[in-house]
A and B are shown apart, each in its own frame.
Chain A
Amino acid sequence: MRELLDGNAAIARGALDAGCDFFAGYPITPATSILLAMMRELPGRGGIAIQGEDEIASLGFCIGAAMTGRRAFTATSGPGISLYSENIGLAIMGEVPLVIVDVQRLGPATGGATTVGQGDVQFIRWCTSGGYPILALCPATAADAYALTLRAFDWAERFRCPVFVVTDKEVASTLDLVELVPRGTWDETPPLSVRPRPLADPECAFAPCDYPAPDQNAPMSPFGGPHLLRFTTSTHDEQGHMTKDPAKVERLNRHLAHKIDDHQHELELVRADLDPQAEVLLVSYGVTARAMDEGARLARAAGQRVSALTLLTLWPLPQGTLRRAIEAGPVRRIVVAELNDGQMRREVERAACGGPEVVGLGRIDGEMITPNQILRAGGLA
């Protein structure tokens, strides 16, 4: 099916195809059309879609619903993420499978409601007190938005944590000619389906937080299911009871990090367009990666050698893939292009370990970075 779709519509389609059956959200530009699509589509499919009295309530509804066994989903923009922040911490602590879309606009505060920005990427990474890892995927096109939303729902089930789909006003609202297939456009993986929620054996005793290994999750059992379930925001033991026992406290907190950190190599989604002879490596994400791709095409048409890497996973940073891209050729300069003042540039610098020069190209005037700006930053134009 070839169609003209914008990123928000593609995300809503991805959520429905992922089996999402609960949505709660609050209207906010430029994320509102996801709310409207879920309101239109979910009830007729046996799902529930609720507009909360605010973002805090909306995410609270999602967390409650997820613990009854629903596949829960919400969408907002930067000011909404601010209000989600406390419940994102709860979802991390309670290991709630959940997908959260952040359609970025220009910040801070109300910023530019209809203006593009990519300034939430570090906010997303560190938006909980205590500072625990989260997963974040970042589409550059409507086709990516669909496939990465499916992937986000799958990761939410696999890792039992909130998974972000971080887009921006341009990806969200620009119509793109797409043919949606449930697989990434970045590799040859087979069509993606979302795994069923791992459930505890109804015949066996159940301890809600008894993970078999630090990097593995305990199976779930919903409210109203065969077991009694204890869910808690407090530091807790295997049974979900509050504890201050240092061994148990550490076990829990290590688990929250290990379950993501130990699987880093499985989480590095990128679209790599590498030239082994290139001395310049362009790195970008979201709408800016589209300008980067076009810049790379223009440079090559002019006979220049250049590599381009689109980060589809933002968190954890695909640092192994970045290192390999750097080591694959004589890379002397890396350009990181983004609509903020260098938030991912610092991450790339860390991954580059003092090797090639890392140049940041940031734009914070509400306009998109152009292909020519990227080429100039790379010394290619």
Chain B
Amino acid sequence: MTTGAYLDPQALPFSFCPGCGHRVLLRALDRALTAKGWDPHSVVLVTDIGCIGLSDRYFGTNAFHGLHGRSVTYATGIKAANPDLHVVVLIGDGGCGIGGNHLLNAARRNVGVTVLVANNFNFGMTGGEHSVLTPQDAITSTTRMGNPERPLDVCATVGVCGAGFVARSTQFDDDLPALIERALSHEGFALVDVWELCTAYYAPNNRFGKRDMLELLEYGGWATGVLQENTRPEYASDYRRRVRAMQRETAPKKPHPSLEPRFPSPLQGRLKVVLAGAAGGKVRSTGHALGRGAALSGLYVTQRGDYPVTVAAGHSVCEVILDSAPIGYTGIPRPDVLILVAKEGRAKAAPRLAAMTPADRAYIGVDLLRGDAPVTTGAQVIPLDWDRVVGVRVTKKNRALLALGAVLAREGFYPLEAIEAAIRETQPPDIARENLSALRTGAAMLT
């Protein structure tokens, strides 16, 4: 076979074992690249571990030699970052096992890389151990009793994941260069499973020669040739097309205005507030409004949240510290003010309520002060009587804000105008109107 333009004559001859099929595959790749005529600077050969991982040294192209099984991930990163590059991955049958997850996902994404599987049915580099592509019953150094495992059909596997181009061939196929050229020409993910002889281990251990390979192909149910070809969009190009479309359709979000202090606050020192309620009850956003209002009043603020990983189920606790000086420690073992608006927050509020003293204030929904197990605390309790809310329907979603209005009006950490400004500056007009109405209604609740 003649040498094309991409094998480096100075690096030849190949140093593989006598009769190893990798020579044939690499010469076929060289001829396919020569047919494409790409600038070698635009070609990146990605390899990983195993005998085929030694291949890049023979090519006068870019080379990335990475960790076992991960070559498809490096190739994906290279292609996604620079779609103009032609990215070719050479892996062995070992790589199909340890890197199987990446093959599935590269095929599914249809990222435009060409994967050539140098499949000689065992690990040649480490001593002929079986791989995920080793035929059933085959003898290897790790399947001395005959391989009990069924081999993976790598072509069918990437095919079912939607790979753009899938083919199977052997080192004995005269059309292998043309087949690889077709794979290289495909825009999307392309994989060619190339069956080879490992003359060091698999062939002698199994008396497996050319005829045996061809018989296995014919009678073992292994389809050959081009097995799948589709026109799904290539990932890196499709990503860019989608970004352009999104940019046309959506206006950039305006940032919230700077929190320049413009309201006075009488607060000296630290005030620790815990707001406890139900997830989905706007606890965090209410806490956030409290914090922004404080910042607009020249105070330092921190805000911590505690909520389960689920959405709108279970508790939501928001801890807000307001201080006239910078805040270090952000925990609140004993709050100055605790606001409990829903039963979901009770368990989380309980240890804090227990730690509170008569100098502290606990604002608690009246429904939680009644019944069989009323909330208990050493703090001064100010009941939040939802029946006294006039003009706004009390719901799960506005209890926290109603309560905060009541607390701010009674405690006077800072002017109500500050939190109103915070709400107006961060929320769309319709939501802001609703929230301001709840806040003002709440402010009248305890008067």
Q: Mark A258-293, 1 if CB is under 8 A from B, else 0.
A: 000000000000000000000000000001001111
CB-contact partner of A60 in B63, B76, B82, B239, under 8 A: B76
Contacts A52-B73, A228-B40, A228-B41; A223 near B288 (Cβ below 8 A): no
CA distance A222 to B239 in the complex (A): 22
CB-contact partner of B329 in A22, A29, A175, A290, under 8 A: A290
CA distance A65 to B44 in the complex (A): 12
CB-contact partner of B328 in A4, A69, A113, A290, under 8 A: A290
CA distance A43 to B239 in the complex (A): 9
**Chain A interface SS verdict (over half):** mixed
CB-contact partner of A177 in B239, B300, B329, under 8 A: B300
From 113 to 145 in chain A, residues with beta carbon under 8 angstroms from any chain B beta carbon are: 113-114
B101 at the interface (CB under 8 A from A): yes
CB-contact partner of B302 in A44, A60, A174, A226, under 8 A: A174
B259 at the interface (CB under 8 A from A): yes
A56 at the interface (CB under 8 A from B): yes
Q: Which residue of chain A has the shortest Cβ distance to B60 in the bound complex? A: A228
From 235 to 254 in chain A, residues with beta carbon under 8 angstroms from any chain B beta carbon are: 240-242
Contact A63 B77, beta carbon cutoff 8 Å: yes
Contact A113 B309, beta carbon cutoff 8 Å: yes
From 48 to 92 in chain B, residues with beta carbon under 8 angstroms from any chain A beta carbon are: 56-57, 60-67, 70, 73-82, 84-85
Q: Which residue of chain A has the shortest Cβ distance to B39 in the bound complex? A: A224
Contact A224 B328, beta carbon cutoff 8 Å: no
Contact B76 A371, beta carbon cutoff 8 Å: no
Residues of A within 8 A of B74 (CB): 60-61, 63-64
Q: Which residue of chain B has the shortest Cβ distance to A232 in the bound complex? A: B65
Residues of A within 8 A of B288 (CB): 4, 175
What class of interface size applies to chain A in its complex with B?
A: 35 or more
Q: Mark B222-264, 1 if CB is under 8 A from A, else 0.
A: 0000000000000000010001001100001001101110000
Contact B66 A60, beta carbon cutoff 8 Å: yes
CA distance A1 to B66 in the complex (A): 44
Residues of A within 8 A of B361 (CB): none
Contacts A43-B243, A233-B67; A65 near B81 (Cβ below 8 A): yes
CA distance A275 to B298 in the complex (A): 30
Q: Mark A76-103, 1 if CB is under 8 A from B, else 0.
A: 0000000000110110000000000000
Residues of A within 8 A of B70 (CB): 56-57, 60, 86-87
Contact A231 B64, beta carbon cutoff 8 Å: yes
Contacts A4-B288, A54-B101; A230 near B63 (Cβ below 8 A): yes
Residues of B within 8 A of A174 (CB): 302-304, 330
Contact A61 B85, beta carbon cutoff 8 Å: no
Residues of A within 8 A of B57 (CB): 241-242
Residues of B within 8 A of A233 (CB): 65-67
Contact B328 A60, beta carbon cutoff 8 Å: no
Contact A1 B258, beta carbon cutoff 8 Å: yes
B423 at the interface (CB under 8 A from A): no
Contacts A2-B295, A4-B303, A175-B291; A24 near B62 (Cβ below 8 A): no
Residues of B within 8 A of A86 (CB): 67, 70
A351 at the interface (CB under 8 A from B): no
Q: Which residue of chain A has the shortest Cβ distance to B243 in the bound complex? A: A43
CA distance A176 to B246 in the complex (A): 32
Residues of A within 8 A of B85 (CB): 68, 223-224
Contact B246 A43, beta carbon cutoff 8 Å: yes
Contacts A61-B76, A368-B329; A4 near B66 (Cβ below 8 A): no
Contact A70 B304, beta carbon cutoff 8 Å: no
Report the minimal beta-carbon distance from A189 to chain B, rounded to whole angstroms. Answer: 21
A297 at the interface (CB under 8 A from B): yes
CB-contact partner of A64 in B76, B300, B303, under 8 A: B76
How many A-B pairs have beta carbons closer than 8 Å: the answer is 192
Residues of A within 8 A of B84 (CB): 224
**Chain B interface SS verdict (over half):** mixed
Contact A291 B329, beta carbon cutoff 8 Å: yes
What class of interface size applies to chain B in its complex with A?
A: 35 or more
Report the minimal beta-carbon distance from A248 to chain B, rounded to whole angstroms. Answer: 16
Report the minimal beta-carbon distance from B49 to chain A, rounded to whole angstroms. Answer: 8
B265 at the interface (CB under 8 A from A): no
Contact A234 B303, beta carbon cutoff 8 Å: no
CA distance A224 to B81 in the complex (A): 11
A216 at the interface (CB under 8 A from B): no
Report the minimal beta-carbon distance from A290 to chain B, rounded to whole angstroms. Answer: 4
Residues of B within 8 A of A229 (CB): 62-63
Most B CB atoms within 10 A — which of A72, A89, A232? A232
A187 at the interface (CB under 8 A from B): no
Report the minimal beta-carbon distance from A149 to chain B, rounded to whole angstroms. Answer: 19
Contact A114 B309, beta carbon cutoff 8 Å: yes
Q: Which residue of chain A has the shortest Cβ distance to B295 in the bound complex? A: A177
Residues of A within 8 A of B300 (CB): 177
A294 at the interface (CB under 8 A from B): yes
Contact B102 A228, beta carbon cutoff 8 Å: no
Residues of A within 8 A of B377 (CB): none
CA distance A87 to B292 in the complex (A): 42
Contact B76 A2, beta carbon cutoff 8 Å: no
B266 at the interface (CB under 8 A from A): no
Report the minimal beta-carbon distance from A2 to chain B, rounded to whole angstroms. Answer: 4
CA distance A29 to B301 in the complex (A): 24
Residues of B within 8 A of A59 (CB): 73
Residues of A within 8 A of B60 (CB): 228
Contact A29 B309, beta carbon cutoff 8 Å: yes
Q: Mark B397-419, 1 if CB is under 8 A from A, else 0.
A: 00000000000000000000000
Residues of A within 8 A of B291 (CB): 4, 175, 177
CA distance A233 to B260 in the complex (A): 52
Contact B81 A64, beta carbon cutoff 8 Å: yes
Report the minimal beta-carbon distance from A187 to chain B, rounded to whole angstroms. Answer: 18
Most A CB atoms within 10 A — which of B44, B75, B255, B309? B44
Residues of B within 8 A of A1 (CB): 255, 258
Residues of B within 8 A of A322 (CB): none
Can you list 15 A-B contacts with CB-CB less than 8 angstroms, sorted by A residue number? A3-B256, A4-B259, A56-B102, A57-B76, A61-B77, A61-B80, A64-B75, A175-B288, A224-B82, A230-B65, A233-B65, A240-B63, A241-B57, A242-B57, A292-B328
Residues of B within 8 A of A (CB): 40-42, 44, 46, 56-57, 60-67, 70, 73-82, 84-85, 101-102, 104-105, 239, 243, 246-247, 252, 255-256, 258-260, 288, 291-292, 295, 300-306, 309, 327-331, 333
Leading 3 A-B pairs by shortest Cβ distance:
A64-B77, A60-B73, A294-B328
Residues of A within 8 A of B (CB): 1-4, 22, 24, 29, 43-44, 48, 50, 52-54, 56-57, 59-70, 72, 86-87, 89-90, 113-114, 170, 173-177, 222-234, 240-242, 287, 290-295, 297, 367-368, 370-371
A-B contacts besides A60-B102, A291-B331, 8 pairs, CB < 8 Å: A2-B295, A60-B66, A65-B80, A68-B82, A170-B330, A223-B44, A223-B82, A368-B329
